[in-house]
Structure 1
Amino acid sequence: MNVLFIGDIVGNVGRSALKETLPALRSKYNPHIIIVNGENAAAGRGITKAIAKEFFDWGVHGITMGNHTWDNKDIFGWIDDEPRIVRPANFSAAAPGKGMAYIQGGGKSMAIINLQGRAFLPPNDCPFQKADELIEEAAERTKTILVDFHAEATSEKIAMGWYLDGRASVVLGTHTHVQTNDDTVLPGGTAYITDVGMTGSKEGVLGMEKEAVLHRFLTGLPSRFVVDEGKWHLHGLVIQIDEATGKAQKATKIRLTEEDWLLM
């Protein structure tokens, strides 16, 4: 089976890029299942029900989140009723939503798990212990398991990749918005990349207007970050998985820009 994961979608620019390129991405990679990280989809902060519906209408099968899950309060009214979206599973047990879902597409199915790192991010339950718990549960139902590890530190992400090698089909990092060049299949058969990257303006700083970011760095004073409206780039990962074993066979990163994507 083929799985397509699109990295952190930032604001209207990122959503437009997704809508514009999905038909061509489907044609080229023939993904059975498409997953996106949507924690920055609503003006860079969280996601709304309307935006999630747009993604599903465009052909997305599952949405993962991260540390901005609760930034848009709209989510509290519907996350418990949407089976195709996951927030970090190691959030407090009192948090609404869930950290693992079983999604279907193209006649295939897989488990998706969302976890958040603890290095340089707010404290949460141990993501490694939560991964053990959820993968054991998922393995009773399916051999194909994808983990979105939303974390800041590259070391923590790499550690998670090795920790889950041979137990998850895919472990990929999100959050830092910069695509890394280490897409690979680990010895145990787990596809891995430290960060998938982002989908949004390539002319700002991590999708935000650069002026406000520079002001904060130069002065140390607060700045209001606004999504940049420049030309987009789209980052993702396509993974080929042997359904019989749950092992990944190949992982290939995707990097498109608004100017050249039609040449893909």
Structure 2
Amino acid sequence: MRLLFLGDVVGRAGRTVVTDHLPGIVANSRVDFVVINGENAAGGFGITEAICQELLDAGADVITLGNHAWDQREALVFIERQPRLVRPANFPLGTPGRGADIFTATNGARVLVANLMGRIFMDPLDDPFAAIDRVLDGLTLGRDVDAVVVDVHAEATSEKQGLGYHLDGRASLVVGTHTHVPTADHRILSGGTGYMSDVGMCGDYDSVIGMEKDEPLARFTRKIPQARYAPANGAASLSGVAVEIDDVSGLATKIQPLRLGGELAETWPELLGDAPSDLLAAI
């Protein structure tokens, strides 16, 4: 099977690039399952029910969250009735929603999607290593589920890499989100798990990690807040990673980045088939 993971959707620009490109990718490419991190989709902070539905309608099968999960307070309520919205599994016991679940891909494959939040330079939540061990307890990749996808929403690449190696051979894909800048370390680990430290964001890269530049620069240079952070709304890039997963073992056989539109150099994963016609001729 072929799986596509798209990074943090930031504000209106990020939503627009997803709704512009993803339906065509799903309709015309060899992709069986799509996961999107949507925790910055509502004005850069959190997600609303309407925006969640917009991303699902565009082609997402599952939407993951992170440290901004509850910035839009309505998420605490609607997550209970939206089974395809997944928050970090290491939130404290009793937190609304679910940290992992098993979903069905278009090809009939059973895909477990889990969301974790890091603890280094972030809120001190429960141990993400122990949390994912609990999620996977009793489940064998290739027998009980056909694929396992883990979104590690974390600041430190060391923590993301640690979780990647901790899950090597037990997950199809371990991918980092949160820092909004795509890394160049996409690879298959020795045990067969696809890994990338950060998939990047779906948003305007003429920004400071998706936010209009003036306010972050003012805070960096003067240490005085001038205004609220606001998402940049220029031409956005769609950033993600595609993974080919063995139908028997559930392990990754190929992993390739995807970037479309905006300021970043465009690249198309050949494992999804022919590139869209509007991709730059140089690719």
- State the TM-score, normalizing by the size of structure 2: 0.89
> Deviation of residue 136 (structure 1)?
2.0
User: Larger deviation: 130-139 or 208-217?
Assistant: 130-139
* Counterpart residue number, 1:263: 279
> Deviation of residue 27 (structure 1)?
5.2
* Counterpart residue number, 2:134: 133
> Deviation of residue 117 (structure 1)?
0.4
Q: Tell me: CA distance 1:105–1:93, structure 2 relative to 1, closer, same or farther (3 Å).
A: same
Q: How many residues align?
A: 264
Distance of 1:194 and 1:258 partners within structure 2: 22
Note the alpha carbon deviations across 1:25-51, whole angstroms, 9 max, x for none: 235641100110000000001001111
Q: Residues 204 and 228 of structure 1 are in contact (CA less than 8 Å); yes or no, is this contact kept in structure 2? A: yes
Q: Residues 119 and 154 of structure 2 are in contact (CA less than 8 Å); yes or no, is this contact kept in structure 1? A: yes
The within-5 A match list for 1:1-12 is: 1-12=1-12
Give the partner amino acid of 2:56: F
* Counterpart residue number, 1:71: 71
User: Larger deviation: 52-61 or 120-129?
Assistant: 52-61
Distance of 2:213 and 2:35 partners within structure 1: 28
Indicate whether 1:218 and 2:221 are aligned. yes
Indicate whether 1:197 and 2:200 are aligned. yes
Note the alpha carbon deviations across 1:186-208, whole angstroms, 9 max, x for none: 11110000000000111111110
* Counterpart residue number, 1:181: 184
* Counterpart residue number, 1:170: 173
Q: Secondary structure at the match of 1:263?
A: coil
* Counterpart residue number, 1:151: 154
> Which segments of 5 or more consecutive residues in structure 2 lack a partner in the other structure?
267-277
The structure whose residues are more often strand, as a share, is: 1
* Counterpart residue number, 1:249: 253
The structure whose residues are more often helix, as a share, is: 1
* Counterpart residue number, 2:83: 83
Distance of 2:146 and 2:53 partners within structure 1: 28
Q: Tell me: CA distance 1:82–1:23, structure 2 relative to 1, closer, same or farther (3 Å).
A: closer
> Deviation of residue 258 (structure 1)?
3.4
Percent identity of the aligned residues? 43
Distance of 2:139 and 2:70 partners within structure 1: 26
* Counterpart residue number, 1:56: 56
Q: Residues 212 and 225 of structure 1 are in contact (CA less than 8 Å); yes or no, is this contact kept in structure 2? A: yes
> Deviation of residue 138 (structure 1)?
4.3
> Deviation of residue 22 (structure 1)?
1.0
Q: Residues 104 and 110 of structure 1 are in contact (CA less than 8 Å); yes or no, is this contact kept in structure 2? A: yes
Give the partner amino acid of 1:263: L
Could you list the runs of 4 or more consecutive aligned residues of structure 1 that deviate by over 6 angstroms after TM superposition?
A: none
Distance of 2:204 and 2:139 partners within structure 1: 36
Distance of 2:170 and 2:218 partners within structure 1: 44
Distance of 1:119 and 1:192 partners within structure 2: 19
Q: Residues 204 and 262 of structure 2 are in contact (CA less than 8 Å); yes or no, is this contact kept in structure 1? A: no
* Counterpart residue number, 2:209: 206
* Counterpart residue number, 1:231: 235
Distance of 2:28 and 2:96 partners within structure 1: 37
Q: Residues 176 and 199 of structure 2 are in contact (CA less than 8 Å); yes or no, is this contact kept in structure 1? A: yes
Note the alpha carbon deviations across 1:141-167, whole angstroms, 9 max, x for none: 314100000000011111111111001
* Counterpart residue number, 2:106: 106
Indicate whether 1:31 and 2:34 are aligned. no
> Deviation of residue 240 (structure 1)?
0.4
Give the partner amino acid of 1:180: T
Give the partner amino acid of 2:118: G
